[in-house]
C-alpha cells in the first residue's frame, strides 16, 4: 500500500478528528484512579466520543494480525502490558498501577490517534522515570519528523533516548501513517532492529502516529491469552505515549495536543 500525502485542507480535517482524540483521552486519563475498572474508562470514552459526533476508530477495527475485530474503543494496558490491552469489568486499577491508554477517533471520514500513560495514585520512582523517558522519546522523535529525514531517524531518536535512561524499546511494534484510516503506511518502528531495508523518506503531506513504547527490562514481548494484549516477556513495566503528527515544510505539527 502506498504512503498517502495529504493536502493542507485534508490535514485540517485530520486535525478535527485529532482534537476529539485529545479531548477524550484527557478526560479518560483524569479518571484513572484506584478502584476504577478499565471497563469504566471504556464507557467514559464511548460517551465522550459520541458527544463530539465522532466514532471510536478501534471499535470493530480488524487489524492485519488478527482474524477478529477489536471489541472496544480503548486499548488499556496496565503495568507489564505494552499495547492492545482489552478493557474488562474485572480489571480494577490499583494504587501505583502504570496505565497506558491508546485511543483513536474518526470524524467526517478522517482519523486521529494518540496514547498517554499515567500512574494511578502514587507510583514508584522507577515508574515515574519510565514515563518521563517515554514522553521525552516521543518529543525527541517528533523533532525528526521533517521532510528529507527517514523513518529510521525517528526510530533512532526513540531508541537513543531510551538507552540514555537505561531502558529498552519494544520490538515489532511502533507507529504508522494516519489519515482516512487509523492505520496506514508507513510502519514506524520503535526499535532499530525493525528498520531494515524498508526505510522510506519523510515527505511533506505525510501524517504519522509516532508512539514510543519503552520497558524497564526487555525489548521482547509475549501475547496474553485474550488474543489481544501484548506484554513484556520478562514482566517488567512498560509505558506508551503517542501523537498524530503532520509533516510540513515548516516542520512537524502535533495534531493531538490540547
Residue 62 half-sphere exposure, CB side, CA atoms within 13 Å? 3
**Percent of the chain surpassing pLDDT 90:** 95
Is the predicted pLDDT of residue 229 greater than 90, yes or no?
A: yes
Cis peptide before 195 (omega within 30 of 0): no
Instruction: Please report where in the chains the cell 520478562 appears, as a residue.
Output: 234
Q: Averaged over 233-252, what is the pLDDT?
A: 98
Residue 1 is predicted with a pLDDT of 76
Whether the per-residue pLDDT at 121 is higher than 80: the answer is: yes
**Structure letter (DSSP) for residue 215:** E
DSSP letters for 11-60 = HHHHHHHHHHHHHHHHHHHHT--TT-BHHHHHHHHHHHHHHTT-EESSTT
Residue 4 to residues 31, 121, 175, 204, Cα–Cα distance (Å): 36, 41, 15, 10
Instruction: Kindly indicate the confidence band of residue 109, based on its pLDDT and cuts at 50, 70 and 90.
Output: very high
pLDDT at position 197 is: 84
pTM: predicted TM-score of the whole model, two decimal places: 0.97
**Mean pLDDT across the stretch 199-216?**
98
Q: Report the pLDDT value the prediction gives residue 64, as an integer from 0 to 100.
A: 78
Those residues with Cβ within 8 angstroms of residue 247's Cβ, 6 or more apart along the chain or in another chain = 145, 146, 147, 202, 203, 204, 205, 206, 207, 208
Res 177 pLDDT > 80: yes
Residue 63 has pLDDT above 90, yes or no: no
Cα-based angle 129, 134, 135 (whole degrees, multiple of 5): 100
Report pLDDT for 65. 73
> Is residue 73 within 8 Å of residue 49, measured between CB atoms?
yes
**Going by C-beta distance under 8 Å and a sequence separation of 6 or more, which residues neighbour residue 48?**
23, 24, 27, 28
Residues in the chain: 258
DSSP-assigned states of every residue in 133-177: HHHHHHHHHHTT-STT-BHHHHHHHHHHHHHHHT-EEPSS-EEEE
Average pLDDT, the chain: 97
Q: What is the pLDDT of residue 138?
A: 98
Stretch 84-90: mean pLDDT, rounded? 97
Residue 239 pLDDT class (50, 70, 90 cuts):
very high
Tens digits of per-residue pLDDT, 37-51?
Answer: 999 999 999 999 999
Distance CA 235, CA 144 (A): 31
Residue-wise pLDDT for 16-32, tens only, equals: 999 999 999 999 999 99
Mean pLDDT value of segment 241-255: 97
Amino acid at each position: 500500500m502506498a504512503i498517502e500525502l495529504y493536502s493542507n485542507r485534508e490535514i485540517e480535517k485530520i486535525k478535527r478528528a485529532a482534537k476529539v482524540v485529545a479531548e477524550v483521552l484527557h478526560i479518560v486519563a483524569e479518571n484513572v484512579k484506584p478502584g476504577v475498572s478499565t471497563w469504566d474508562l471504556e464507557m467514559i470514552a464511548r460517551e465522550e466520543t459520541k458527544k463530539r459526533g465522532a466514532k471510536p476508530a478501534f471499535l470493530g477495527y480488524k487489524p492485519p494480525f488478527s482474524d477478529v475485530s477489536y471489541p472496544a474503543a480503548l486499548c488499556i494496558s496496565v503495568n507489564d502490558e505494552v499495547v492492545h490491552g482489552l478493557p474488562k469489568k474485572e480489571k480494577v486499577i490499583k494504587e501505583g498501577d502504570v496505565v497506558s491508554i491508546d485511543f483513536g477517533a474518526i470524524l467526517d471520514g478522517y482519523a486521529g490517534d494518540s496514547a498517554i500513560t499515567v500512574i494511578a495514585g502514587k507510583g514508584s520512582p522507577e515508574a515515574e522515570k519510565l514515563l518521563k523517558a517515554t514522553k521525552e522519546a516521543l518529543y525527541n522523535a517528533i523533532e525528526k519528523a521533517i521532510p528529507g529525514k527517514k523513518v529510521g531517524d525517528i526510530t533512532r531518536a526513540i531508541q537513543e533516548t531510551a538507552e540514555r535512561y537505561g531502558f529498552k524499546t519494544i520490538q515489532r511494534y511502533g507507529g504508522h501513517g494516519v489519515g482516512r484510516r487509523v492505520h496506514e503506511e508507513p510502519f514506524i518502528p520503535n526499535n532499530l532492529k525493525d528498520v531494515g531495508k524498508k526505510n522510506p523518506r519523510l515527505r511533506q503531506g505525510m501524517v504519522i502516529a509516532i508512539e514510543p513504547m519503552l520497558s524497564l527490562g526487555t525489548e521482547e514481548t509475549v501475547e496474553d491469552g485474550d488474543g489481544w494484549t501484548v506484554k513484556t516477556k520478562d514482566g517488567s513495566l512498560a509505558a506508551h505515549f503517542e501523537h498524530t503528527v503532520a509533516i510540513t515544510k515548516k516542520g512537524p505539527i502535533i495534531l493531538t495536543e490540547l
